[in-house]
Structure 1
Amino acid sequence: MRKLSRSAIGLAVGALAIGSLSPSVASASSIEGYSSQVQQAAVSELASSEGITEFAAEQRLRAQERSVETLDQLTERLGGEAAGTYLDDRGRPVVNVLTQQAAAEVKRSGATAKVVSRSTAELESIQAKLQRAATAHTSIGLDPAANRVVVTIADAADDAKAARLLATAKRFGDAVQVEQVDGTMRKAVYNGEAITGGGSRCSAGFNTNYGGRNYIVDAGHCTGAISQWNVGPSVHASFPGNDYGLIRNDTGHAPGAVTLYNGSTQRISSAANAYVGQSICKSGSTTGLTCGTVQRTNVTVNYSEGSVHQLVQTSARVDRGDSGGCLFSGSTGLGITSGMGGGSSFFQPVVEALNAYGVSLN
């Protein structure tokens, strides 16, 4: 099975939400690639959360698309010289580098260069050491804007084990930031409707195909728990470690669009990896269409069932039953809903899942 590129994938992608599909696609919007409802939701959330005008929010979304392309190119070109990438508060590309020579390369590409003291390899090494002391209801991720590791501890974590994690974090000084939040870190399965099986409900993810057959790429904790859905059987699951799985779509209906839960859809024309600072939206069968911002990438979330690595953390609202639903930015698919905790949501990167199964987006 062939591998897909790490960055943009020029293929169509869709979400199947049984009972909520419409053959119509929302009319073209003034921001390229955005349906009218997704544009409205993304602009409204961004204006509210950042305290800016809707016009400024629209300008930021337009800039974001160009910035992501620039970051994809620079990440590939710089290799180990890049020490983290993100979008600033205007949606412009920023690249952390270790040398002035690399900074000059970044500036020639029109991005902002920020010389930092810690490499990505160093931060990932710290992250791995912290993970050895981790416990359920915690997460450990990278914050490229601050050039450090962030440890988040929910109050459901065992006190003694959380104390051990805190003690480990202190060993690394200002390279590690600790956040304490309410609630739990949990995956998002619920009893109810949407795609159903075994008395459980998830949200269908990206419609794909391989060898002339349609499949749904979904959350692994859904496909691992339920063998038969109302849309077809689960054929693979990877959870924990990852959180992706595959469902054979036997419905005969596998559109390349995300349902917006109002009778309209958002066409998706590519898939890519997410960047910190990127404005995003998600579609799920419990909370419908919600929007927010990517807070961190390469996050390890420690659920009660085990740890899941390299997740994307966002501020978009999710709840039980949203698992498997689609994370996207305009017309670009980004991830599969995994879980939530501490007011944040967590997503399995979709490019990794597509590569794992060698499937093509519809």
Structure 2
Amino acid sequence: MRELLRSAVAAGACALLAGALAPATAFADPTVTIEGYSTDVRAEAVSALVAERGLGTASAEALLRTQEAATSALDAALAQLGDSAAGGYLDESGAPVVNVVNESAATSVEGVTTRLVTRTTAELESARDELEALPQVSHTAIAVDPVTNQVVVTVGEAVIGAAGTAGLLAAAERMGDTVRIEHVAGGFEPAIYGGEAITGGGSRCSAGFNVNSGGQDYIVDAGHCTAAVSQWNVGPSVDASFPGDDYGLIRNDTGSAPGAVSLYDGSVQEIASASDAHVGQSICKSGSTTGLTCGTVEATNVTVNYPQGAVHELVQTSASAGSGDSGGALFAGSVGLGITSGMGEDSSFFQPLTEALGAYGVRLN
């Protein structure tokens, strides 16, 4: 049992009743390689792009090849434009697009497509802040959508009849087309799974990323996991930030902590760096319940109102997640992006990895 535990952690995952999972479905030619992508991650990411966007295999592979350069160009343009930009995203083809609020800004940057929009970042954030200042309503989420240049309020059906719902919806409607209201089935819950025992508790999570500081190895994980369980099979929880944020730290006492993420089929994805996610980015997630799943970033800087409290600045994706996936890794090829926080009916939510690394002063292994 000790050797099984070490093996799972070495692959970047808690060996907590992981279970057998089928390999990723491969639509792509297995002889084709994409720098930074393991074979299984490339195959699953291509499959998701084909299914979600209707791309051909060759187009999906081309998108993955250029995605890291596209996100770098997007970051550079947003930094250059400052307040003249109103967010940015990767379009369906993977090309970087930056929203601008004046014509002069539209012609001042290279390497990205600029799009003139009517609402500034300040205006969108003001509307968002006004909605977040209202009494918290569980099973709702608030985000800024750069594609439509709107604030989006997502309401799960679990919220029907809850106190404060009518006030939230009325305030959103008063803001006109600055705010869009969307209704989804179910609600939003942290992706922790109760009832299957681990050392020191009755909950199961997934490990995120192996990191180190001062010669000691740690695992950055979901804060709602480390807040709930003091001792894991791999070592003790040493910190938790939840709600508000959703990151935590586990001391890794196994003696094995390479910089890789388990894909739950016997293979791993090497992780070489960390970055922030962008809307439209093709991503994958690894977790001990659903294994390797891929999709697209739907929103960033999302506030999710879980029953336990609000968590801010999350990344929302279309990759599927299930109970027990909490803490699992979100990544794009060899770039780490986030830590699994929770799930809704058709979306999953992730704590940004860069924030957690900065909070703890740790480095990826």
TM-score, normalised via structure 2 length: 0.90
Partner residue, 1:38: 41
Which one of 229, 233, 236 corresponds to residue 232 of structure 2?
229
Residues 316-350 of structure 1: per-residue CA shift (max 9 Å, x gap)? 00010000000000110000000011310000000
Does structure 2 conserve the Cα–Cα contact (< 8 Å) formed by 1:14 and 1:205? no
- Alignment pair present for 1:127 and 2:145: no
Partner residue, 1:273: 276
Does structure 2 conserve the Cα–Cα contact (< 8 Å) formed by 1:29 and 1:39? no
Tell which deviates more after alignment, 137-146 or 123-132.
Answer: 123-132
Q: 1:181 to 1:53 in 2, by over 3 A?
A: same
Q: 1:71 to 1:322 in 2, by over 3 A?
A: same
- Alignment pair present for 1:149 and 2:151: yes
Provide the rounded CA distance (Å) in 2 between the counterparts of 1:305 and 1:14.
Answer: 31
Residues 158-210 of structure 1: per-residue CA shift (max 9 Å, x gap)? 42522211100011100100001110110011136696540110001111000
Which one of 136, 139, 154 corresponds to residue 138 of structure 2?
136
- Alignment pair present for 1:115 and 2:112: no
Provide the rounded CA distance (Å) in 2 between the counterparts of 1:64 and 1:196.
Answer: 40
Q: 1:195 to 1:46 in 2, by over 3 A?
A: farther
Which one of 73, 76, 84 corresponds to residue 76 of structure 2?
73
Residues 20-42 of structure 1: per-residue CA shift (max 9 Å, x gap)? 7xxxxxx9962111001000000
Shift of 1:276: 0.2
Partner residue, 2:223: 220
Provide the rounded CA distance (Å) in 1 between the counterparts of 2:14 and 2:351.
Answer: 19
- Alignment pair present for 1:53 and 2:56: yes
Give the counterpart letter for 1:116 in structure 2.
Answer: V
RCO higher in 1 or 2 (8 Å CA, sep ≥ 6)? 1
Does structure 1 conserve the Cα–Cα contact (< 8 Å) formed by 2:14 and 2:205? no
Provide the rounded CA distance (Å) in 2 between the counterparts of 1:348 and 1:277.
Answer: 17
Tell which deviates more after alignment, 127-136 or 215-224.
Answer: 127-136
Residues 55-94 of structure 1: per-residue CA shift (max 9 Å, x gap)? 1111121222211010111122222222101000100000
Residues 237-270 of structure 1: per-residue CA shift (max 9 Å, x gap)? 1000000010111111111000000100000111
Q: How does 1:1-362 map to 2 (within 5 A)?
A: 15-18=12-15, 30-106=33-109, 109-133=110-134, 134-159=136-161, 160-191=163-194, 197-362=200-365
Shift of 1:116: 1.1
Does structure 2 conserve the Cα–Cα contact (< 8 Å) formed by 1:17 and 1:259? no
Provide the rounded CA distance (Å) in 2 between the counterparts of 1:195 and 1:299.
Answer: 31
Give the counterpart letter for 2:121 in structure 1.
Answer: T
The aligned length equals: 343
TM-score, normalised via structure 1 length: 0.91
Give the counterpart letter for 1:146 in structure 2.
Answer: T
Provide the rounded CA distance (Å) in 2 between the counterparts of 1:14 and 1:337.
Answer: 17
Does structure 1 conserve the Cα–Cα contact (< 8 Å) formed by 2:261 and 2:329? yes
Provide the rounded CA distance (Å) in 2 between the counterparts of 1:276 and 1:145.
Answer: 8
Give the counterpart letter for 2:145 in structure 1.
Answer: D
Does structure 1 conserve the Cα–Cα contact (< 8 Å) formed by 2:197 and 2:203? no
Does structure 2 conserve the Cα–Cα contact (< 8 Å) formed by 1:16 and 1:255? no
Provide the rounded CA distance (Å) in 2 between the counterparts of 1:142 and 1:15.
Answer: 32
Shift of 1:277: 0.3
Give the counterpart letter for 2:67 in structure 1.
Answer: Q
Does structure 2 conserve the Cα–Cα contact (< 8 Å) formed by 1:18 and 1:195? no
Give the counterpart letter for 1:344 in structure 2.
Answer: S
Provide the rounded CA distance (Å) in 2 between the counterparts of 1:28 and 1:298.
Answer: 37
Residues 193-234 of structure 1: per-residue CA shift (max 9 Å, x gap)? 696540110001111000100011000000011111111111
Does structure 2 conserve the Cα–Cα contact (< 8 Å) formed by 1:240 and 1:306? yes
Gaps of at least 5 residues in structure 1 are 1-12, 21-26
Provide the rounded CA distance (Å) in 1 between the counterparts of 2:11 and 2:72.
Answer: 22
Does structure 2 conserve the Cα–Cα contact (< 8 Å) formed by 1:219 and 1:244? yes
Give the counterpart letter for 1:131 in structure 2.
Answer: E
Gaps of at least 5 residues in structure 2 are 1-9, 19-29
Does structure 2 conserve the Cα–Cα contact (< 8 Å) formed by 1:204 and 1:218? yes
* Identical aligned residues as a percent: 61
Provide the rounded CA distance (Å) in 2 between the counterparts of 1:253 and 1:71.
Answer: 36
Q: 1:194 to 1:41 in 2, by over 3 A?
A: farther
CA RMSD of aligned residues (A): 1.9
